[in-house]
Amino acid sequence: MRNDLERLMEQRGLDGMAVLGSSLRSAALRYLVNGADLGDSWFLAGRGRKRHLVHNPMERDSAAGAGVEMSTPADNDFPALADRSDSIQHAWGRMLGERLKKMGISGSLALYGVADVGLALEVRRTLEDEYGHKVVGDMRLPLTDELRYTKDMHEIEILKGLSKITCEVMGRLRDHLASLKPSGGKLAGPDGSAARIGDLRRIVRMGFAEHGLIQPHGSIIAQGRDAGVPHNHGNDAEEIRPGAPIVVDIFPQDTASGYYYDMTRTFCVGPAPQDLRELFVTVHDAHLAALDTFTLGSLARDYQHAVCDFFESRGHATLRKDDRAEEGYVHSLGHGLGLDLHERPRFSASPMNTDALLPGTVFTVEPGLYYPSRGLGVRLEDVVVAHGDGTFENLTDFPLTLEV
User: Is 7 a residue whose pLDDT tops 80?
Assistant: yes
48 band by pLDDT with thresholds 50, 70 and 90: very high
Q: Tell me the mean pLDDT in the region 347-359.
A: 96
Domain residue spans of the chain? 2-147, 153-394
**Could you give the residue ranges of the DSSP H alpha helices within 12-152?**
27-32, 60-64, 78-83, 88-102, 117-131, 143-147
**How high is the pLDDT of residue 1?**
83
Greater confidence, 192 or 127? Answer: 127
User: Is 203 a residue whose pLDDT tops 90?
Assistant: yes
Coil/strand/helix, residue 143: helix
Is there a shared CATH topology between the 2-147 domain and the 153-394 domain? Answer: no
**How high is the pLDDT of residue 183?**
82
pLDDT tens digits, residue range 91-111?
999 999 999 999 999 999 999
**How high is the pLDDT of residue 103?**
97
Q: Tell me the mean pLDDT in the region 15-33.
A: 95
Per the DSSP assignment, residues forming a β-bridge with 109 are: 16, 135
- The phi-psi region of residue 13 (left if phi > 0; otherwise alpha if psi is between -120 and 50; otherwise beta) is left
pTM here? 0.95
The CATH class, in words, for 2-147 is alpha beta
User: Is 3 a residue whose pLDDT tops 90?
Assistant: no
Rounded to the nearest 10°, the torsion over CA 242, 262, 330, 141 is 170
pLDDT exceeding 90 applies to what percent of the chain? 95
**How high is the pLDDT of residue 186?**
83
**How high is the pLDDT of residue 192?**
87
| Mean pLDDT over the full length of the chain | 96
On whether the CB atoms of residues 344 and 378 are closer than 8 A, the answer is: no
What is the architecture of the domain spanning 153-394? Alpha-Beta Complex (3.90)
User: Is 138 a residue whose pLDDT tops 80?
Assistant: no
